[in-house]
Structure formats: C-alpha cells, structure tokens
Amino acid sequence: MAIANRLMSYIKVLAFQGILLFVVAFIQLEEINPLNLGFILLETVVVKAMIVPWFLMYILRKNKITREAEPYVSNFFSLIITTIIVVLTVLLSHTIADSGLDKIFFIAAMSSLFFGMYLIATRRKIITHVMGYLVIENGIFVLSLAVGNEMPMLVNLGIMLDIFASVLILGIFLNKIGDVFKDVDVQQLNSLKDV
Amino acid sequence: MMLIYLIGSLLLVLALALNRKKWINYGLVGLYLILLWALTIFAAFHINETDLTYFTFDALGVLLLIILSIIAVPAMIHSKIYVEQHQETGGVRAIYFVSIVGLITAIGAGYLANHIAVTWIFAEITTLSASALIYHHRNKLALEGTWKYVFIGAISITFVFIGILFLSLAIHQTGSGNLSYSSLYRNAPSINPFWLQLAFLFIFTGYTVKLGLVPMFTAGVDAKDKAPAPAAALLSSVLMNLGFVGVFRVYTVLSNSSLHHWVNLVIGIAAFLSLFVATVYMLKVKNIKRMLGYSSIEHMALVMLGVAAGGIGYYAAILHIVLHALVKSSLFFQFNQIYRVYKSKSIYQVGNYIKYNPTGALVLLFGFISATAMPPSGLFVSEFLIFRSLFQAHQLWLLLVVLILLTMIIWAFGKNVFKILFTPPVGFDDTHVPIINPIESVSQFVLLALAMYLGLNPPAEFVHLIEESLTLLPQ
C-alpha cells in the first residue's frame, strides 16, 4: 500500500487484509463456537472484505475520482519510512518483557496503526484518509487478538456496531463532499478560519 | 430504570424520526425531557446502586447527570426557537431533534457507565449524533466542519479503544479479567505500570477530542462554530464533561498505583499547553462562536491543572466543570439572538448590541463576568481554589505563567465583548433589526444565577456529592 499508485490497488489490498484477518482469527480460535465463528466471519469476510471495498469502489465511480493516489512524498521515501515503522515496532516489542502478549500480533497491530496514520498524513485525497482509518481499524482487530481480550458479548457487540456505524457515516459524508466540492482533495477543506 | 430510560429514548428517537408534524415533534421532545428528569431523580435517590449491570449511579455521574438535565431543558427551548426562526422543513426538524435527543441520551448514559468499554460505546455514539447536528445547515462550511469532527472523532475513539485493549491485557495478568471501573480501582496497585502508562496515554489522547485539550482540540472548535447554537451549547458544556468523566475515571485508577506522580505530570503538561494555545487563539479570533469555543478550552485546561495539582484542586476541578457547563451553555444560547440581529458571527460586523437588545446584552455582560471568573461569579471560587492548589503543590512559576496567560485571555475576551456591546458597527443598516422578546433570555439568567449560587453558597448536598466523587482519590 505504501507505494501503490492506483486507488484500485488500495481497495484490493484492503479486501485482502479482510480475508487475512479472518484466517488469522480462525487459526487463533481455541474452540469453534458457532456464534463466535459467525460473528468473526461477518465482521471480516462480509464487512471488511466485501461491503467496505464495494462501498469504496461505488464512491470512486460515483464521484469520478481520478485513479491516482497522489501522495505528497515520493514512493521511495514512503517505502523507506514504512520499513522504518516496521523496524521500530519490532524493536519496541523486544523491549517489552511480557509473557501474556503475542509479539507477532503486537508488531503487526502497531505497525498498521502507525502506517495508517502515515497514510492519512501523506495522501492528498480524502478517500485515502478513510482508507488509512480502515487500516488502523484492521490493526486494532489484530491487537484485540493479541491481547486475547475477554469482553462480555454485549459489550463486544456494541463496539462492533459503533465501528461499523462510524465507517458508514464517514462514507456518507465522503459522498457529500464529492457532491459539493467536485474535487475530493484535502486542499479544499481549509476555509474554516478564526478571522 | 436505566432500561426504561434507554428503551424509552430509543422509541422516542424512532417516533421523532418518523414524524413530520410540528406539535407531535415538540410533544415527543417534552416526553423525552420528562423521561430524562425521571432518570435523574431516580438516580439521585439511589446513589451507588448498580442498574442493568453496566450502569452505576455514582456521585460524579449523578452530579453531572443533574447538570445535563438542567441544561437539556433550555437547550430544547432554544432549539424550538432556532428551528422556527429558520423555518426548517419537517424532515430537517425531525433529524435535528433525533440527533439532539440521541446526543443527550448518549451523554447521560456515558456518565453513568461503570465499565470502561461502555463509556467508550456511548462516547462514540455522541460523535455520530453530533455529526448530524454539525451538518445541520448542509452547506460547504458545515460539511467541512462535520468531516473534520467525524474523522478526528473516529481516529480518537480508536485511540481510546487501543488504550482499553492495553488495560485489558494488564488487568488480565492480575488474575481478574474484568474491565469495570471498580475492578480497575481494586487492582490498580498490582497492574503492570508499563501497560498502565501506555493505556493512559492512548485513552487520554483519545478523549481530548471531547475534552478539548491539546493535542486534538481543533475539531471540537470547528464543530462548535458550525453547529446550531443550541447544539453548540451542549457540545461545549455537557459533552466536554463526558470527556472529563472518561479521563477522570482512568486517572483515578492511575492515581491509586505507583504512577500517581507520572500521570499528574502528563495531565499538567497537556493542560498547560492547552492554556497556551487557547491564549494564542483568543488573541486573534474574530468569530464569536469560535471565541467561546477557545474559552472552553481555557476552562478545561484550568480544570486539568487543578486535577494535576491535587489536594483542594480535585474539589475545585469538579466544581469548575459544573459551573463552566452552566455559564458556557448560557452564552451559547445567547449567541443566537446576536446572530438574529446582525446576521453575522464576525466581531467586525457586530456592535452596539445594548441598543438593539438590552436584555440580551445584559446576559452577554453577566456571562462575560462569569466566564472570566470575576468576583460575583461562581467560577471565581473554583478558579481561586485551583490557584491555591497550585500554590500548595509548590508550582509557583507555573502559577505565575498561568496567571499571565489568563490575564491575556481576559483582556482579549473583554475587548471583543465590549466591542459587541458598546462600539457601533461600521456600515450596519439598523432599519430591519428584529425585536427580540426578553422572555427568550430568561433561561440564560437562570443558568448564570445558578452558577453564581452554586459557587458562592453551595448547598450541603452539592458539596457532599463532590466530596463523595473524590473518595477514591489519594488525599
């Protein structure tokens, strides 16, 4: 994702991440509980790998967003910086002496968190900001596997609903921005001022 | 009761969404206010009881819930005035009331939640319902403000979630894997400090969007600028209190561990930077609503300085957020009348307000005196106590700088307010100035008087509630 030029490849990577998340979560499951399995299946394969990519493609097409990602920095630097992010999280995870933590998951989660923020900071289009947010969300999904959290089912459900709603609302307003501004570029969003 | 409240609110929201008739809408909103007050009164008589597993009527929650119920009534009255002034269509009005009822419900439930993830869920719902309010005018600028608020709100709430995940990892190692606040307080001394530090940094950063501190204060100011004034009043008073609750409960956990000094340092630095930022923006801001928004940042910074200083500062902090909520919401309610006279938010195009609307001008004057904590105002007491706590914590240099910054803020705020009140505006055509009914200012006077009363002569129950909410903190 760091050096891809086309928005379509971003969407494909996001869909692929959704499937990967399902595989990881499936392997991680200690006991196959139909309710849990259905829940994870719905969240990863259906939402993350199908609905969200479809929705992003719909927005791309409807608003006639040009297919280039238009980063502020060159691909070469992006590659270097993402590599540095991964290396730093690996180093960070080695300083943590904790047996309750799955290190590989921790590294994957933290690096996708920081990479998501990097993506938001360095891309010009608003739709790539949403993609950065989705990358962060995926990182959090991995993190929740890493810490093996045991939230009550009801709480879990609330969290999932909220995240889904926020993605939906982001999508709706992204669509509106496409309608109103005719050019989905963050440079358009600078008219709120103090003076 | 909590179940009745949540289900009742949900049904009312649905009914509001489906209805386009004006008086049915108002009736439903009135029903909602009755429901809210019923919950508040029930909660006040059942202190420290748990309801529906995830909600506890603890002192801090009940205190803020009472303030929420008090502010909700004028908020609805001014919403009605606002909607009628703008002659909104049935659909727009329905969306407006649906989101404002959703916002108030989520804020109230967030105060009372006794599980850290439940607070999170309701904080997220406030972001979503606030987004519909900010987008009320459906123009370019509103869209920009909404987008920034929703996006930064979404990122921040994920930050809080990361913090909660770290906390859940840490609490898991102590043997009891329960994320309710009471379990966190109990296990605080034995939680691994590294995870606790990491969790607090993420949770604090995330909640700063709601609380209005550095680093994520910007989106909140844009939101208060673009939201209709009655909604902005909620955003800058009770919603900020929700951010405070989110931070304060986790702060209580850390203050019971070995990290008490560290957490005070973190909060203190963020609060000082926020005060500095608020000063810088107050000096140059020319938009009245944004000026009020930056003033809220200043007050929240003072609150967090009080918490960081400890001792009497805790009491002062709680008192200050309560009084600030009353004062700031009354100023925002008043703003709408200013806008109706001048059709502008810019200080350049506004002036001699006392001539066009004397009652409203008095509200503005008293609100200014209250917000800058000049003696008859209740905030004078809480600010004075915050300064005393800084003095007792031997932070003399910090206190000196804070006082200098506050003086600059009062100067900038006063300059702008007196321009609005007394200097005639250039090129303003006053032939079509609407007459504003003084009755519309009554609720603001009540709120300001309440703030004065609670500050200068706090009733025993009020003091008891504040002290009760501080019992878990180390004295």
- Location of structure tokens 């963020």: B270
Query: How far is residue B450's CA from residue B71's CA, in Å, rounded to a whole number?
Result: 11
CB contact under 8 A, B128 and A151: no
Distances in Å between the Cα of B76 and the Cα atoms of B91, B189, B429 are 17, 45, 32
Does A12 score more than 60 pLDDT?
yes
Would you say B101 and B15 are in contact if contact means Cβ atoms under 8 Å apart?
A: no
Q: What is the pLDDT of residue B308?
A: 95
User: What backbone phi and psi angles, to 5 degrees, belong to B287?
Assistant: -105, 125
The Cα of B146 is separated from the nearest Cα of chain A by a number of Å equal to 8
CB of A162 less than 8 A from some CB of B: yes
pLDDT of residue A183: 65
Residue A54 sits at φ, ψ, to 5 deg, of -60, -45
Residues B10 and B444: their CA atoms lie apart, in Å, by: 29
pLDDT at A126: 84
Q: Look up the pTM and report it.
A: 0.94
As a whole number of angstroms, the distance between CA B329 and CA B236 comes to: 7
Kindly determine whether residue A192 and residue B143, on different chains, have CB atoms separated by under 8 Å: no
Mean pLDDT by 10 residues, chain B (475 residues): 94 92 93 96 94 92 96 96 89 93 96 93 92 91 90 90 88 80 90 91 95 91 94 96 96 93 95 96 93 96 95 95 96 93 90 91 95 91 95 94 96 94 86 88 95 94 94 86
Length of chain B equals 475
Q: Are B334 and B441 in contact (CB under 8 A)?
A: yes
Query: Would you list the DSSP string of B255-321?
Result: HTSTTHHHHHHHHHHHHHHHHHHHHHHHHH--BHHHHHHHHHHHHHHHHHHHHHH-THHHHHHHHHH
Q: Do A96 and B177 touch (CB under 8 A)?
A: no
In angstroms, the Cα distances linking B85 to A47, B139, B337 are 43, 18, 10
Interface size between A and B, measured as CB pairs under 8 A: 117
- Contact between residue B370 and residue B452 where contact means Cβ atoms under 8 Å apart: yes
Q: Could you tell me which residues are beta bridge partners of residue B113?
A: B55
Question: Which chain B residues are Cβ-neighbours of A158 within 8 angstroms?
Answer: 117-118, 121
**Other beta carbons less than 10 A from residue B30's beta carbon:** 12
**What pLDDT shows up at residue B82?**
94
Residues 6+ apart with CB under 8 A from B56: B48, B49, B50, B112, B114, B182
Residues 174-193 of A with CB under 8 A from B: 174, 176-177, 180-181, 188-189, 191-193
Q: Which of B125, B162, B195 sits opposite A143 (nearest CB)?
A: B162
**pLDDT 10s digits, A25-76:** 888 777 667 777 787 788 888 888 898 899 888 888 887 777 777 788 888 8
Could you report the predicted ipTM of this complex, rounded to two decimals? 0.91
pLDDT for the residue A129: 87
Question: Which chain A residues are closer than 8 Å to B127 by Cβ?
Answer: 166
Q: Which chain A residues are within 8 Å of B102, Cβ to Cβ?
A: none
B165 close to A (CB below 8 A): yes
Print the SS3 string covering B18-46: HCCCHHHHHHHHHHHHHHHHHHHHHHHHC
* Residue B401 contacts residue B372 (beta carbons within 8 Å): no
Confirm or reject contact between B73 and chain A (CB < 8 A): no
Q: What is the pLDDT of residue B449?
A: 95
- Taking CB atoms and an 8 Å cutoff, what residues of chain B touch A100? 169, 172-173
Q: Contact at 8 Å (CB) between B196 and B269?
A: no
Chain A residues touching residue B120 (CB < 8 angstroms): 159
pLDDT digits (tens, 9 = 90+) for A114-160: 999 999 888 888 888 888 988 998 888 888 877 765 666 667 777 77
